[in-house]
Amino acid sequence: MITSIIRSLNLQLTRATEIMTGAAFLVLIAAVTIQVLGRSSLFDSPVWTEELTRFSLLYLTAFGVGLSFIKGDLVNVDIICEALPKPIPWLLRIISAAIVAALCCILIGPSIEFTKIGALQTSPALGWRMDFIHASILVLLVWLLVFSLIRISTLLLDGNADRGRNEEVQA
């Protein structure tokens, strides 16, 4: 029962994160399209497109890193892990997810302070409060923490050492 709850939570969070990643990517595409059209003599390229491109790229990364982690698309050493005897790759996956979770926990506090600093600043072209932009770092750390905890719990509850890449998503 707990395994099915965790898998359901994983699926729901993955879907929500895919939507948010897609939305950030659509904003990035729109901003870059406006920039390209503006540089091709159709009209003057607005100044704010540069900022919007950077901001959307930050949020694209913030949302996408959790997906990359849970799907196994971040930097991996699968060649080495899969060559080891069966329980060792499973244990290494748990250890690496625990290290990621611990680092996220350590960095969340400073990222909150970084976000607060942004309340005193605004972006030059768009005039947006920078705490909304600085919050992308906090979002990245929170999503990565959540997905690393899901990965740990899935590995512990499933107990299947034979499954490698994309193990949670295929489940």
Q: Domain extents for the chain?
A: 2-170
CA distances from 124 to 36, 51, 102, 120 (A): 21, 8, 36, 13
Specify the pLDDT at position 171.
41
C-alpha–C-alpha distance, residues 171 and 151, integer Å? 12
> Buried (b) or exposed (e) across 30-67, using 16+ Cβ within 10 A?
ebeebbeeeeeeeeeeeebbebbbebbbbbbbbbbbbb
pLDDT, one tens digit for every residue, the chain (171 residues): 788 888 888 899 999 999 999 999 999 999 999 999 888 877 888 999 999 999 999 999 999 999 998 887 777 767 777 788 988 888 888 999 999 999 999 999 999 999 999 999 999 999 999 999 999 999 999 999 999 999 999 889 886 544 444 444 444
Whole-prediction pTM: 0.84
